[in-house]
Amino acid sequence: MVFKAGDIPDGTDHIAKATRTLLLASRDPDMAYNGPATWYVASNVGEFEGGASYQQGINYPCHMPFQVKNYTNKWEAPIILASGCTYADEYKEQSLAFIAWLLSPTESPWRSLLQEGFHTVEDGSGNLKGFYFDQEQLLKFPFLLFKNFCIAARIPYEYPAHVKVWYQAVQEGVSGSDALILASMLLWKNKLMVDSTRAGGHHWPIRPIGNGDGGYFDYNRWTNADPRPHYQNPNGCWTVPGGSILTIDVGSLISLLCANSSNPSAASWQSSDIEWDVALSTFRKWKEKYVKA
């Protein structure tokens, strides 16, 4: 759905309301570099937070507060879900590549969602401003899977230092799914650094290290685009339940990255410099050891 420059839909139906929310928010001069996430949700039964028939999340810092009542994984008569999808201009090339992968109906780990019933929203210049899912598509999958996708869609805007890592990896032949694992553990500031904050699932769609709510990250499920939410945290879409079940030891990767960094003893795998060639070589050796062809 593309709108002419300056054209904001003024209808009262939910599609008009949803697209108006996304387009107006994208023009808000108060939206800073790490500004608020934008979403619009409508339901026939008003089961969303606050008891309203729909929820607009324009003023929230991210998608994490977006939830159904009592934080369950079940939809109740949803009508529409819309969410913003923007990026920092400084990282336009990297971000557009990431978004193209994220929204690809053949390559994205979320591709089961991106079929008929998924629609993008663009402004009059053809710039992507967001997307929405219609009711038929929403009823096919659990709520937490859509929330997980919305969190991923915010990465270019909220975490461009990680998108830069993702882009560099893809440019050197790493798959998009593998590149996001690597980007979970590395970030570019003035230099490349090992950092575990995102890898622990903090405001991030996957949790490749640690045990989260009784489940471990399942590499095969992630790379085969097979999400199956089993608990109340959205990044649990890519985990396997059980206290000691490890299909592939993804968590060991960050230990190897840290061991090959300039400061192997860095506390909590953070703030440790590493050369790009070393990081990429470490990843490839890890994959050769743990991932069977």
Which of the residue ranges 10-14, 122-126, 147-151, 198-202 would you say has the lowest mean pLDDT?
A: 10-14
Number of domains in the chain: 2
CA 172 to chain centre: 22
170 shares its domain with 258: yes
Q: Which of 123, 158, 193 is the last residue of a domain?
A: 158
Which of the residue ranges 48-57, 109-118, 160-169, 253-262 would you say has the lowest mean pLDDT?
A: 48-57
- The answer to whether residue 185 is domain-embedded is yes
Per-residue pLDDT tens digits for 98-118: 999 999 999 999 999 999 899
165 shares its domain with 280: yes
> What value does the mean pLDDT of the chain take?
80
- The answer to whether residue 24 is domain-embedded is yes
If pLDDT is split at 50, 70 and 90, which confidence band does 13 have? confident
Given this model, what pLDDT does residue 32 score?
41
Q: Is 115 exposed, middle or buried (0-12, 13-18, 19+ CB in 10 A)?
A: exposed
34 Cβ neighbours under 8 A, 6+ residues apart: 61, 157, 158
If pLDDT is split at 50, 70 and 90, which confidence band does 79 have? confident
Q: Which of 158, 183, 204 is the last residue of a domain?
A: 158
108 shares its domain with 167: no
pTM: 0.88
If pLDDT is split at 50, 70 and 90, which confidence band does 3 have? low
Residue 143: give the domain boundaries. Answer: 14-158
**Does the structure show a pLDDT above 90 at 197?**
no
240 shares its domain with 272: yes
Which amino acid is residue 148, in one-letter code?
Answer: N
Q: Which of 107, 129, 158 is the last residue of a domain?
A: 158
Given this model, what pLDDT does residue 88 score?
79
Report for 80-84, 101-105, 145-149, 254-258: range of highest mean pLDDT: 101-105
151 shares its domain with 241: no
For residue 81, give the nearest of 43, 26, 25 by alpha carbon: 43
Output the six-digit token pair for 150: 């919305």
Per the DSSP assignment, residues forming a β-bridge with 215 are 212, 241
β-pair type (192-194, 215-217): unpaired
Output the six-digit token pair for 123: 């402004």
200 shares its domain with 281: yes
223 shares its domain with 282: yes
- The answer to whether residue 5 is domain-embedded is no
